[in-house]
Amino acid sequence: MSNEYRHVLVAVDLTKDSHKVLERAIPIARRNNAKLSIIHTLEPLGFAYGGDIPMDLTSIQDQLDEHAKERLADIADPHDIAREDQHVVVGMPDTEIHRFSKEHNVDLIVVGSHGRHGFALLLGSTSTGVLHGAQCDVLAVRVGNDDEAAE
């Protein structure tokens, strides 16, 4: 049995594509006898509204966090991924995925990647952001075109 990877991190956006990305990562983790963690990042509410809202957004952020945890569990529980290995963090996906990877000695990050063209290609993507600056291997699982709406 190969032991090339010891900790595989799967990043999911909670769309239906997440299943495909996770199902590609699981056999790799099993073959390598590696730990498997799954992560979803939530954009900070203040960030989305320009940080200018004169109200405390903490309780709304907490509710969003709770909701994301439930949706992540719906995806991860059927694959027997322990709740302690299911992570919801607040921040930008590439930054947080890199931070988590460094802090937890992740040696393979698995992300989904849409076939892009036109403006979407120019705007870049989460998978590109994750690839740039990653200090470990990154596997981009093709999850269909942007035209084929995910969700």
With CB under 6 A as the contact rule, the residue among 32, 81, 127, 138 that binds ligand AMP is 127
Among 40, 72, 75, 138, binds ligand AMP (CB under 6 A): 40
113 binds ligand AMP, rule: CB under 6 A: yes
16 vs 33 by CB, closer to ligand AMP: 16
Among residues 21, 81, 106, 108, the one that binds ligand AMP under rule CB under 6 A: 21
Q: Do 35 and 117 meet the contact criterion of CB atoms below 8 Å apart?
A: no
- Interaction of residue 106 with ligand AMP, rule CB under 6 A: no
Tell me the residue type at 69: K
Angle separating helix axes 58-76 and 17-31, nearest 10 degrees = 60
Instruction: State the minimum distance, in angstroms, from the CB of residue 1 to ligand AMP.
Output: 26
**What is the spatial distance between Cα 68 and Cα 116, in angstroms, rounded to a whole number?**
26
> With the CA atoms of 104, 20, 62 and 8 taken in that order, what torsion angle do they form, in degrees rounded to the nearest 10?
0
Least separation in angstroms between residue 113's CB and ligand AMP is 5
* Among the listed residues 93, 100, 101, 134, the single contact to ligand AMP using CB under 6 A: 93
DSSP string, 108-132: EEEEEEEE--HHHHHH--HHHHHHT
The answer to whether the beta carbons of residues 8 and 25 sit under 8 Å apart is yes
Where do contacts with ligand AMP occur on this chain (CB under 6 A)?
A: 11-13, 17, 21, 39-41, 93, 111-114, 125-127, 143
